[in-house]
Structure 1
């Protein structure tokens, strides 16, 4: 495993002076991999107004388009935000260590960071993407803070109980965001028309979608917190810092995660996804296992000889993941809404996937260029100023 200081790869070296500890490339690369999955999940909400109301766009009902929609539900939906959440929990332990090395109080730092994330998330949700996750992360971070001193066993047990409790609640109480199909089609058309307008129309529609999005986030939040706690446990064991030691664990995660996770994903995608209470419950139970298998596979690949080049490309994107996450929304707004080309509702789902690949390819190139010249991404720099209450050293 090689480590790097953000610009030049080095061979298992410790950095002296400004940087106390090298960044571990595989962690950033895994974050970059998760970022691509999130783009694939989110872009459908920019490309059409119907998914926001749990409906398929009736203009695209061909076999190819249906297959593309099914594939996203099968492999992507409800999986990658869990991987990103796991990394949030893992990074929490790294931030604790960073404060300890600097002999600084951790809690004020972390609270300032959460405040910055919350404000940024509000702006993101109103101006760019109603499905923002940053505000949810900021609020859940307050709960994560209370778990700071619990044992690893308690953290993992709490994660398991949260996942099971959410699935059982959905199964017994029903899907809180479900609507009837006729209303969904009407609302989907309304949202699509609103997104074809200018900035005022887009922002107004984002605000109108707030209640539905809050209900959706309420369903996602417990699972995100569960992934936070698994990340907290993994961070304490420094799993991602010593992949050779934990390679057997990663393979075991694959052996369990893929059979169970793919079986659950098949039920989820084929049975109606989030529109069906039963399939949603199955998806919620099994998505964490498939997300874990994805992460394990990515790490095993990235630590191999074949993975050296992907590590370099993905790591740069992962180092500025916050900027890239918001940047994806900026690009999608320009491509799909009336603020730019106005292509919402005019691109088939099968082609939307190709658009996502093109966007992420551009982000990989831009990230490599930017991180070759700067220590932090633009929004990472802003968040660091807020976290440390001072300008970062160059």
Structure 2
């Protein structure tokens, strides 16, 4: 998940190029277009719903652990709301200091708004997910119209003045979080709640058929639905604006299926690995997962240090392919850091802070 997020975010720090719907340079060389095409097909709009589904799944786990201690649902709901409120605050600080495309705020906001569905019946959860999908389409069309009509300019990450960049990041975050990101993640979040009730990822062996179907169908839909936009953003196909916006919408909607497919694939892999003895690579990945909030924030710290014009300044001198290479190296760095720091169950600093703020000293 964190590798996909790093790949999806790194190119957003680049500047000096006219960009397509997904933020990739339209004038890149062959290697840049190849990388952009692969990521549009398999990464962009796929990592976000995967993260959202796992977030919804985890919220149910948190609630179940609290309920198991004897707390009532109103008490548990209060804890979950407090945690999501602090997650929203983390997102604000992330946007203030580092990255306009923060997604923590969206998850915190969705968690605050939809926490009641942890206890609602399946029919209500799936009905809300369907409403969320329709809302998602409406929002996508609106943002597609803005993309084709707005003047092209650099992202806040590429502004040379750090104060101006901070202001623009907050403006972008405050507008994008409730209107675009929150609506985008809500359907996958609700599907995650539905899956958690059945312990699909905790007991993958009993749900292998379901996971296999979700993996195959979801990945197929994501590839087929993403192919037209891949052709558009790599300038292989240049249709009218109406068709382009439709393909942008199709790309994002089928990305929800792709995100669920990736979660299912990981569940299948975990089932297979769990039958043996996990090696150092698997243990390192597990440590990175336990430090996921810290590692996510560290990605932005590294990207700002490397790409921003008021720090490393590399964002004005490299293309999409190089940015993705840096993203992979950044992810590997966080995996190694987590592997070296997490033995014994030690929490990452961001995880420890969120837990302390949520539960207090006890």
Q: With structure 1 as the length reference, what TM-score do the two structures score? A: 0.80
Query: Structure 2: where are the runs of 5+ without partners?
Result: 235-240
Indicate the residue corresponding to 1:356 in structure 2: 327
Task: Say if 2:305 and 2:311, in contact at 8 Å, map to a contact too.
Answer: yes
CA distance in 2, matches of 1:353, 1:226: 28
One of 280, 292, 298 as aligned partner of 2:260 = 292
Which of the numbers 225, 232, 235 marks the counterpart of 2:193? 232
1:130-149 deviations in Å (ceiling 9; x for gaps): 11111111111122212132
Conserved 8 A contact 1:192-1:345: no
C-alpha RMSD over aligned residues: 2.6
Q: Quick one: distance in 2 between partners of 1:169 and 1:356?
A: 29
Which one of the candidate residues 278, 281, 287 is aligned to 1:308? 278
Q: How does 1:265-284 map to 2 (within 5 A)?
A: 265-272=226-233, 276-284=244-252
Query: After TM superposition, where is structure 1 displaced by more than 4 Å over at least 4 residues in a row?
Result: 49-56, 168-171, 190-193
Partner residue in 2 for 1:178: 147
Residues 210, 113 of structure 1: CA spacing in aligned structure 2 closer, same or farther, 3 A cutoff? Answer: closer
Which residue of 319, 338, 342 maps to 2:313? 342
Describe the shift of the 1:349–1:272 C-alpha distance in structure 2 as closer, same or farther (beyond 3 A).
closer
Q: Secondary structure at the match of 1:304?
A: helix
SS at match of 2:312: coil
Q: Give the counterpart of 1:86 among 53, 69, 75.
A: 53
1:41-190 equivalence runs, <5 A: 41-48=8-15, 54=21, 56-57=24-25, 60-104=27-71, 105-167=75-137, 170-171=140-141, 175=144, 177-180=146-149, 183-184=151-152, 187-188=153-154
Structure 1 residues 11-67: Cα deviation after superposition (integer angstroms, max 9, x where no partner):
xxxxxxxxxxxxxxxxxxxxxxx1111111011112337588855446x52122122
The separation in 2 between residues aligned to 1:388 and 1:343, in whole angstroms, is 41
Instruction: Find the aligned partners of 2:278 and 2:84 in 1 and give their Cα distance.
Output: 33
- Which one of the candidate residues 377, 384, 392 is aligned to 2:348? 377
**What TM-score, normalized by structure 2, do the two folds share?**
0.87
| 2:204 match: secondary structure | coil
Unaligned runs of 5+ in 1: 1-33
User: Partners of 1:74 and 1:383 in 2: how far apart?
Assistant: 34
Task: Give yes or no for contact 1:163–1:284 (8 Å, CA) kept in 2.
Answer: no
Q: Distance in 1 between matches of 2:17 and 2:169?
A: 14
